[in-house]
Structure 1
Amino acid sequence: MEEKNKHVLRNSVIIKVLGSNVPFPVCSLELRRQWSKYGGFHLTSIGMDWILCSFKTEEAMEEILNGGPWFIGGHIVGMDRWNAEFDPYSFKGITAPIWIRFPCLPLYCWDEDNLTRIASRFGTPMYIDSNTFRWGKREFARVCVKIDLEKKLPNGVWVEGSVGRFFQLVEYENVHLLCYHCGRVGHNKDECPDEVAQGIRDQASSKVVADKPRNNIPEAGSGMIKSEYGPWIHVHFKIIALSRHGAMGEN
């Protein structure tokens, strides 16, 4: 029976919306709207905010897996083929195409080969924004990369340039649910398993220190540690407000 059930699920995809408390009916309605051209499919809520999407054909499933980026309410949709080793408590195997930006990229790196090489340090490059090579705008380069969501998102990479080594920062578009403690998607800092574990270790350490004579307690250092993650790692879209005359033209 297990083998029969696996066969039934052979054209199925597991889906996770990287947003907080997006209701299943909203996800179902939006996915049906976006994927209607790929033929019939069935959506099932399977707990822990995971969704199972079963397609009628393998071709339709491949189109979805290799397409995108897909969004629901501005939130990225991560996905993978269903297999028997799927674990709802893990992001193992889950990927998503994500647009990333390289702000202030050195001008001698503005070509398809260099951009692809740098982007490959984050995942599998899929597309380069066609506006990237326009001379009128060189504030940032923009590439769509398929990223493994189980791994920590890099905040940048070191690049060996022709005039020396430099650190290239990165900004992620529409990655709203990102932990500033561990650098992984799917939860915030307050819910981070690493942060909770660290808090337990700190409490245990504090108790040990408290039990020692006071003259053995080391003084705290005054150095400041710069955070590896923060709001700066997100793309903040600019809202351009136009006056009525500016939008419609002067009479």
Structure 2
Amino acid sequence: MLDDGVAVKLNAEKENMNSKVLKFLLVVKVLGNKISFPMCSVELRRHWNKFGNFHMTSLGMNWILCSFISEEAMDEVLNGGPWYVGGYIVGMDKWSTSFNPNSFNGITAPVWIRLPCLPLYCWDEENITRIASKIGVPMYVDGNSFRWGKHEFVRVCIRLNLENSLPKGVWIDGIAGRFFQHIEYEKIDMLCFYCGKVGHDKDLCPEIKKVDVAAKVSIKQENVVSIPT
């Protein structure tokens, strides 16, 4: 990196032309450590061929660019799901000029959550939706949840913002008082138990790295010996 701050000025007209060509695109990432691009290609085609032809390109860092022939096909994929590859959740968003492969900004995924041991007086669609809305955008409730003999947990599909930390539960005010309802997330394996975010484990958590760097700087400052003048 140069210190003088001199930057290359791009041709804005060409940038805008390139951006117009890049329409009907989704940026996709499978939240699993050992999922190869060929495996993703096979699985995603199996899921999405019913929406029409599309093209996939590897962007590196486990990101895939999917180009669709129409906006309708792209929206069907974006608003459908949940989608899985090798049992792992698929996160996605429409491509934009602000896309950054180092960030999950804007990336969402339909995810099934469970509400274990939910009090029976809360078992209706409106109250279940209210609870789920504290985690993400509710999409639909598993109808099997309301069958007798299926009262171990409620199951709800929500659209989850993968940039946010995943809460372990929510506080609820009910007719019997306030209680804490635990949340379980299905098929999310790349979850950091330090910061609560998806996409990395604790060993690679950037928040831990920040703390470690701050601690090292603090130790160095404490070890500085003042030289008397």
Q: TM-score, normalised by structure 2?
A: 0.89
Amino acid at match of 2:60: G
Partner of 1:63: 76
Among candidates 100, 105, 108, match of residue 113 of structure 2: 100
Deviation at 1:202, TM superposition (A): 2.4
Partner of 2:16: 3
Deviation at 1:49, TM superposition (A): 1.1
Write the deviation string for residues 44-70 of structure 1: whole angstroms up to 9, x where unpaired.
001111100000010000000000000
Partner of 1:124: 137
Is 1:190 the counterpart of 2:219 in the alignment?
A: no
Write the deviation string for residues 171-202 of structure 1: whole angstroms up to 9, x where unpaired.
00000000011000000000000011111222
Amino acid at match of 1:38: F
How do residues 112-191 of structure 1 correspond to structure 2 at under 5 angstroms? 112-191=125-204
CA distance in 2, matches of 1:10, 1:117: 35
CA distance in 2, matches of 1:101, 1:206: 44
Uncovered stretches (5+) of structure 2, i.e. residues with no partner: 1-13
| Number of residue pairs matched by the alignment | 212
CA distance in 2, matches of 1:20, 1:199: 24
Q: TM-score, normalised by structure 1?
A: 0.81
Is 1:40 the counterpart of 2:53 in the alignment?
A: yes
Is 1:25 the counterpart of 2:38 in the alignment?
A: yes
Moved segments of 4+, more than 6 Å: none
CA distance in 2, matches of 1:74, 1:55: 24
CA distance in 2, matches of 1:21, 1:138: 35
Amino acid at match of 2:163: E
Could you say what secondary structure the match of 1:64 adopts? helix
CA distance in 2, matches of 1:181, 1:211: 32
Partner of 1:74: 87
Write the deviation string for residues 129-164 of structure 1: whole angstroms up to 9, x where unpaired.
111011212111100000000011111011111111
Uncovered stretches (5+) of structure 1, i.e. residues with no partner: 213-251
Partner of 2:11: none
Deviation at 1:166, TM superposition (A): 0.8
**Cα RMSD, aligned residues only:** 1.4
Q: Percent identity?
A: 58
CA distance in 1, matches of 2:20, 2:218: 51
CA distance in 1, matches of 2:212, 2:150: 45
CA distance in 2, matches of 1:159, 1:64: 34
Deviation at 1:209, TM superposition (A): 5.6
Could you say what secondary structure the match of 1:46 adopts? strand
Write the deviation string for residues 101-125 of structure 1: whole angstroms up to 9, x where unpaired.
0111111100000100000001110
Deviation at 1:3, TM superposition (A): 1.8
CA distance in 2, matches of 1:7, 1:41: 18
CA distance in 2, matches of 1:60, 1:204: 52
CA distance in 2, matches of 1:79, 1:71: 12
Deviation at 1:210, TM superposition (A): 6.4
Deviation at 1:208, TM superposition (A): 5.1
